[in-house]
Amino acid sequence: MRNPELTRSANPATNRRMGHGSNFRHRALLALPLMGALATAGCISVNAPDKPIVIELNINIKQEVVYRLAQDANATIESNPDIF
Amino acid sequence: MDGVTLRTETMTKVSMRQSFAALAVVGLTLGTLTAPAAAQNRDPAYSAARAAGQVGEKMDGYLGYVTPAAPALRAVVEDINIKRKAVYADKAQANKATVEEYALTSGCLLIAQTKPGEKYQAPDGSWQTRGNGPPLRDSRCP
């Protein structure tokens, strides 16, 4: 009669430890690009707030609006020669 | 009797002509008096700075400094820009537009109205000197 029970039951314990160690290393590797992304994001936000906010706002103005207002704006300029 | 009536007729004609002339003179003086009040001209400091290329017309409808300005000139220009903004805001509301929209439209027209030698802002943000040809303007300008 053979006993199906494994001999040297200490083996799985060492295996588990190895597995645990590699898993931890994997997690560390996965976290690296995330940390890198955080670092570069920080760099960009330092460079961004410079000045051309006004020009960015003006991009939203459409040509048809400009055409609609042109005649009135011209009359306004003509009637206020001290400030134009 | 005939001679008398003729004389009175000529008299009235002359007096009428005189009164017309007087009216015309009054009208002329009134015209010359009211014209400068209605159309006040530019501040001399602003005119000089504009002609010298120290200040120029920006795309956004306001004046900008091409070269670093002295505090006195800066005060004049800021005052004009504040007044411009007030006018833009008033007219924008009347036309159901935003202040920025009305100001940009005015900027288009003001850049077009610059005289040769004056400074204006090109679409890339650089300062340009107006030549004899058309200025470099935003593609949305009329």
Note the pLDDT tens digit of each residue in B55-99.
Answer: 999 999 999 999 999 999 999 999 999 999 999 999 999 999 999
Indicate whether B134 belongs to any domain.
no
Instruction: Search chain A and give the residue with CA nearest B85.
Output: A83
Q: Residue A11 — pLDDT band, cuts 50, 70, 90?
A: low
Which of the two residues, B10 and A35, has the higher pLDDT score? A35
Q: Residue A59 — pLDDT band, cuts 50, 70, 90?
A: confident
Mean pLDDT value across chain A: 69
Distance in Å, alpha carbon of B84 to nearest chain A alpha carbon: 7
What is the residue range of B16's domain?
1-40
Q: Residue B7 — pLDDT band, cuts 50, 70, 90?
A: low
Q: Are residues B31 and B59 in the same domain?
A: no
Report the pLDDT averaged over residues A16-26: 53
Q: Are residues B113 and B90 in the same domain?
A: yes
Overall number of domains in chain B: 2
Phi, psi of B56 (to 5 degrees): -145, 170
Q: Are residues B108 and B83 in the same domain?
A: yes
Q: Residue A62 — pLDDT band, cuts 50, 70, 90?
A: confident
Indicate whether A71 belongs to any domain.
yes
Binary contact (A70, B109; C-beta < 8 A): yes
Q: Are residues B64 and B18 in the same domain?
A: no
Report the pLDDT averaged over residues A55-75: 85
- Spatial distance between the Cα atoms of A46 and B14, rounded to a whole number of angstroms: 86
Distance in Å, alpha carbon of A67 to nearest chain B alpha carbon: 6
Q: Are residues B35 and B60 in the same domain?
A: no
Mutate: best of A58, A60, A64, A71, partner B, most B CBs <10 A = A58
What's residue A7's pLDDT? 61
Mutate: best of B105, B110, B138, B141, partner A, most A CBs <10 A = B105
Name the strands in the sheet holding B63-65, side by side, starting at the edge strand that comes first in the sequence: B63-65, B55-57, B119-121, B127-129
Report the pLDDT averaged over residues B112-123: 96
Overall number of domains in chain A: 1
Identify the contact set of chain B against chain A, taking CB-CB distances under 8 A: 39-43, 59-60, 80, 83-84, 87, 91, 94-95, 97-98, 100-102, 104-106, 108-110, 113, 125, 139-142
Binary contact (A74, B125; C-beta < 8 A): no
Closest Cβ opposite residue B91 in set A62, A67, A76: A76
Query: Which secondary structure element, helix H or strand E, spans residue B112, and what is its range?
Result: helix B99-112
Q: Are residues B79 and B99 in the same domain?
A: yes
Alpha-carbon torsion A75, A79, A83, A84, what sign? positive
What is the residue range of A28's domain?
11-79
Indicate whether A3 belongs to any domain.
no
Indicate whether A1 belongs to any domain.
no
First to last CA, chain B: 75
pLDDT tens digits for B25-59?
444 444 444 444 444 789 999 999 999 999 999 99
Are the C-beta atoms of B101 and A62 separated by less than 8 Å?
no
Are the C-beta atoms of B73 and B49 separated by less than 8 Å?
yes
Are the C-beta atoms of B91 and A73 separated by less than 8 Å?
yes
Q: Are residues B124 and B56 in the same domain?
A: yes
Mean pLDDT value across chain B: 82
Closest Cβ opposite residue A69 in set B42, B84, B102: B102
Indicate whether A67 belongs to any domain.
yes
Q: Decide the pairing of beta strands B63-65 and B55-57.
A: antiparallel
